[in-house]
Chain A
Amino acid sequence: MNSTTIHPRGAAYYEVLLTITTSSSLAADLSLRIRPTTTTVHQGDLLTYAFPVWNLGPDNADLEVLITQVPAGTTFDYIRISGTPGLGTCTHPPYGGTGQIICNENSAMAPNTTWTVRLTVKVTASSGTLITEDAATLADTLDPNLANNTATVSTTVE
């Protein structure tokens, strides 16, 4: 594999022109929150986080993505999506696992609608631990206000 090989195909020059156009005429302000079912949990409890993503407009938000992970001190239990117009899909760790979670809305979300992902994890951390979950959202549509695209929440293990 490390030597020069002569063969009859030969290489050829290729030339391509890529034309890329961007438009700032459409904009959608996404707003993300994280809402845990409770602010205090015990080891072995199930803890559910809701991640509502609001499109505050003014235009459709195309192909929203929510990125989060199973927070430290927990393991993955299950995930579900609700909202309008499309439910979307998520990649996530297996049951009992840890790691990154990426959910794709796979459609266009109209202004003043919401898309919500709900993640349930099992608490494995011991008493006194602070479980911190964070997340970010973005879309293909230009977002004029990125200050509300990330969120963090902490839950205490009692």
Chain B
Amino acid sequence: MKLSLRCVIAFLAICMFPIAVFAEDQTITLDITAYIDGRDQLIIHGNTLQWHHFDFQAVGRGGGVNLPTTISTTLNGAPVLTNYNWIPDWPYPPPNELYFVNAFSSIFSDLSPNLPDSSMTVTLTPIQARDSVSIVQSPSASNNQTLIVEFDDDSSPGGGLL
């Protein structure tokens, strides 16, 4: 993600307020459930989520349906979002599957708690996965604390839930 100097300066200016600087230690969990076919990346930054679709069917669109991405979050063990259903918009409306269309979804901007704007450690635990899920970009200062998780379903020979 390209950094804008003026955005960084603005970010630093906003963060000059002490309340934003001295945050307590926090543990945040994000539980994400999505209907995946092919390869898709979930881009998480601040209070936003966005899908990047690469091949086969777009997230939620397999078989011409329009299923939500379900989001549950906690902050220090306390639930914040519980099974929140976000239906991303894509460049083509359903039942279009965006089959092999490289595209970005709409942006969900109500993620709470948001991803911190300072150093953090992220671990990923697959709960249900037909193929591989991995962190392809860990948040850091150089990428403006942006986390990218890749769902790579490309090698699966057929359907089925695990």
Contact = CB atoms under 8 A, between A and B. Distances in A.
Interface in A1-26: 1-26
A15 B128 contact: yes
B99 A1 contact: yes
B21 A146 contact: yes
A24 B57 contact: no
Contacts of B2: 100
Interface stretch (A39-47, A50-58, A77-85, A134-142): A134-142
Interface in A118-158: 134-136, 138-147, 149-150
A20 B121 contact: yes
Interface residues of B, number: 72
A146 B98 CA distance: 44
Given A20-B29, A22-B120, A63-B141, A12 B130 contact: yes
A67 B9 CA distance: 9
Given A11-B36, A65-B141, A16 B27 contact: no
A97 to B, nearest CB: 16
A13 B160 CA distance: 9
B14 to A, nearest CB: 9
B22 to A, nearest CB: 6
Given A13-B35, A14-B34, A23 B12 contact: no
Given A9-B158, A11-B62, A16-B127, A22 B22 contact: no
Contacts of B121: 20-22
A14 B29 contact: no
Contact of B63 (A3, A10, A15, A65): A10
A104 interface: yes
Given A12-B37, A13-B161, A149-B12, A5 B99 contact: yes
A22 B36 contact: no
Most chain A CB neighbours (cut-off 10 Å) among B12, B29, B122, B125: B12
7 contacts: A11-B35, A15-B34, A15-B129, A16-B125, A19-B122, A21-B121, A139-B141
Interface of B: 2-5, 8-9, 12-13, 15-16, 21-37, 44, 56-57, 61-64, 92, 95-101, 115-116, 118-130, 133, 140-142, 147, 149, 151, 153, 156-162
Given A13-B34, A141-B118, 20 more contacts: A4-B64, A10-B62, A11-B57, A11-B62, A12-B153, A12-B162, A14-B133, A14-B151, A15-B33, A16-B125, A17-B31, A19-B27, A20-B28, A20-B115, A21-B120, A22-B23, A102-B3, A104-B142, A138-B12, A142-B118
